[in-house]
Structure 1
Amino acid sequence: MTITSRELPLSTHDDHRYTLLARLPATPSARLLWLPALGVAAKHYLPLAEALAARGVAVYLHEWRGNGSSTLRPDKHHDWGYRQLLVEDIAASHAAMAADSPQVPAIIGGHSLGGQLASCYLGLHAQDFQKLWLVASGTPHWRTFAPPRGWLLPFFYQFAIWLAHHRGAFPGRQLGFGGVEARSLICDWASVGLSGRYAAAGLEVDLQAVMAAAAPEIRGVLFKQDWLAPQASLAGLLAKMPKASKQVVMLDAARLGVRADHFAWMKQPAAVVDTLLG
């Protein structure tokens, strides 16, 4: 199958600029807006995009503000949270995808944090997406993690908020979790981890309510050795969308051909693609 590679330069109302990477089959049967994990540049999902495009899915890889092709980097003078990601950035990528391939059904999905924000964005735009794909994703709420890790998470979330404000940005590279992240982004994420409720500071819409009203077809993929997204964490996220139809598959190393952890599948995504396409 012939696959076309495209790079779509985008900008938002607050002058953030980045590139939306696309892999397009000649006659797509569906189009997917894919949101990365925290701190992961869009280019790292090109193997996934190319594998899906070979199966007829047009894939658009979103770039997080502060990563990869983004013109912004977080520091004491540059900050953003879930509101900007949902209202400005994902909305710009969604509009570009809709204009580029408007004739086929739309899917939104993501990896880890990307899956969480895909769920929130779908709630805000439920009429625009028929399906939600979640890979190694779930709520960070501490109660969905088994002890003793679950008991320790509230302390980490509170520390992350303090550290991000103290430093001006969260030094994720130094801590081995995410990248250099905006302090308000970390605050929004950690607040979900502490309370279990999705909210975006400065956004008046009740994210919990719009997620609860949405009824997409959800396909979730988990990995057996992934402690960052255990089964209970995904179940906690799915519980916020009670009207949705849901199918969850757990993959092990034998199915994947690589270690069944949070990131190894990205370089060898064939089993994940098979599972998503079902």
Structure 2
Amino acid sequence: MPTDFTQEHLERGTDRIGLQVYPSPSDDGPVAIIWPAMGVKARYYRPFAAALGEQGITVIVADLRGTGASTPPPSRASRYGYPSLVEDVAAVSEALKPRLDGRKRLLIGHSLGGQAAILHLALNEPSDVDGLALVAVGLPYWRHYPGLRGYAILPYTQAIGAVAAVAGVWPGWTFGGRQARGVIRDWAYTARTGRFPSIDGVDAEAAVRKVRTPVLAVSVDHDQYTPPETLDHLCAKLEAAPVRREHYTTAEAGGRLDHFAWVRASTPLASRIATFTTTL
């Protein structure tokens, strides 16, 4: 499967969202839109896109706002947070509708991208999305980290939030790349409370409980940022959705796994996602 993609852009007022569109294996097969982790560029997912393509799935990878081909980069002037990320998911889905009509539509979210995808579904029920796959996603609630890690996670996440608030932007020191302070504020809130922040005045927690879109939720071995317990916590919020909860192991992958490395050992995982897609 070729890993060359066509770079496209979706204009969003003063911002634009970069979209990497991979060659379609068929004219009527399923289409997956991948939403990346915080600070991770869309190009990083090329091995995963190739593996999904081998399974007959057309792949489009969107850069999160301010990352990669999505511009402008975060600065002190950036005012956006989770609500804008959720709006971007909706805008991309709407823009792609003409080429997706009649085909199964799958959202695949990694880490922050998975949170944005869930919130998009929560605020847009009923949805024209057929399924959601979450890989290495979780709410980084400090109480759900094993052992004593939670007691380090809480001050770590809140310190990042404090730096972003004071500096007006998160500089990207050791974590997450350069980010708008609103994104960091909302992320730190989830780590402190275990809850989603309200989205434009909407109770996101209540909205998530009403999501009915089928979900495949996959944790991965050696995930240093969203261990399985944080994904279990997130899945518990999806009270109305049929959820398939799975775990991806190093033995199955045949390569090193962690919060990011799974992308480069994703062939067996792509097969799992293809199987999930056939059930939609």
Match in the other structure for 1:191 = 189
Instruction: Give per-residue Cα distances to partners, 1:237-267, cap 9 Å, x unaligned.
Output: 1111111112222222221122121111212
Answer yes or no: is the 8 Å Cα contact 1:4–1:26 preserved in 2: no
Amino acid at match of 1:30: P
Q: Post-superposition, which runs of at least 4 consecutive aligned residues in structure 1 deviate over 6 A?
A: 1-4
1:194 Cα offset (Å): 0.8
Provide the C-alpha distance between the structure 2 equivalents of 1:3 and 1:154, rounded to a whole number of angstroms.
Answer: 39
Number of corresponding residues: 273
1:262 aligns with 2:259: yes
Provide the C-alpha distance between the structure 2 equivalents of 1:200 and 1:163, rounded to a whole number of angstroms.
Answer: 22
SS of equivalent to 1:25: coil
User: Map of 1:188-227 to 2, 5 A cutoff?
Assistant: 188-200=186-198, 203-227=200-224
1:4 Cα offset (Å): 8.3
1:46 Cα offset (Å): 1.9
SS of equivalent to 2:32: strand
Answer yes or no: is the 8 Å Cα contact 2:145–2:229 preserved in 1: yes
SS of equivalent to 1:71: coil
Answer yes or no: is the 8 Å Cα contact 1:28–1:57 preserved in 2: no
Provide the C-alpha distance between the structure 2 equivalents of 1:231 and 1:4, rounded to a whole number of angstroms.
Answer: 33
1:43 Cα offset (Å): 1.2
Answer yes or no: is the 8 Å Cα contact 2:139–2:194 preserved in 1: yes
SS of equivalent to 1:18: strand
Provide the C-alpha distance between the structure 2 equivalents of 1:3 and 1:108, rounded to a whole number of angstroms.
Answer: 20
SS of equivalent to 1:99: helix
Provide the C-alpha distance between the structure 2 equivalents of 1:28 and 1:3, rounded to a whole number of angstroms.
Answer: 20
SS of equivalent to 1:158: helix
Match in the other structure for 1:272 = 269
Q: Any unmatched runs of 5+ in structure 1?
A: none
SS of equivalent to 1:138: coil
1:8 aligns with 2:44: no
Amino acid at match of 2:106: I
SS of equivalent to 1:128: coil
1:115 Cα offset (Å): 1.2
Match in the other structure for 1:142 = 142
Amino acid at match of 1:190: A
User: Map of 1:142-181 to 2, 5 A cutoff?
Assistant: 142-172=142-172, 174-175=173-174, 177-181=175-179
1:3 Cα offset (Å): 8.6
Distance of aligned partners of 1:5 and 1:192 in 2 relative to their CA distance in 1, 3 Å threshold: same
Match in the other structure for 2:278 = none
Provide the C-alpha distance between the structure 2 equivalents of 1:193 and 1:259, rounded to a whole number of angstroms.
Answer: 27
Q: TM-score, normalised by structure 2?
A: 0.91
Answer yes or no: is the 8 Å Cα contact 2:36–2:110 preserved in 1: yes
Match in the other structure for 2:104 = 105
Match in the other structure for 2:41 = 41
1:111 Cα offset (Å): 0.7
Amino acid at match of 2:60: Y
Amino acid at match of 1:258: G
Answer yes or no: is the 8 Å Cα contact 1:116–1:237 preserved in 2: no
Q: TM-score, normalised by structure 1?
A: 0.92
User: Map of 1:75-90 to 2, 5 A cutoff?
Assistant: 75-87=75-87, 89-90=88-89
SS of equivalent to 1:194: helix
Amino acid at match of 2:36: P
Amino acid at match of 2:156: F
Provide the C-alpha distance between the structure 2 equivalents of 1:118 and 1:109, rounded to a whole number of angstroms.
Answer: 8
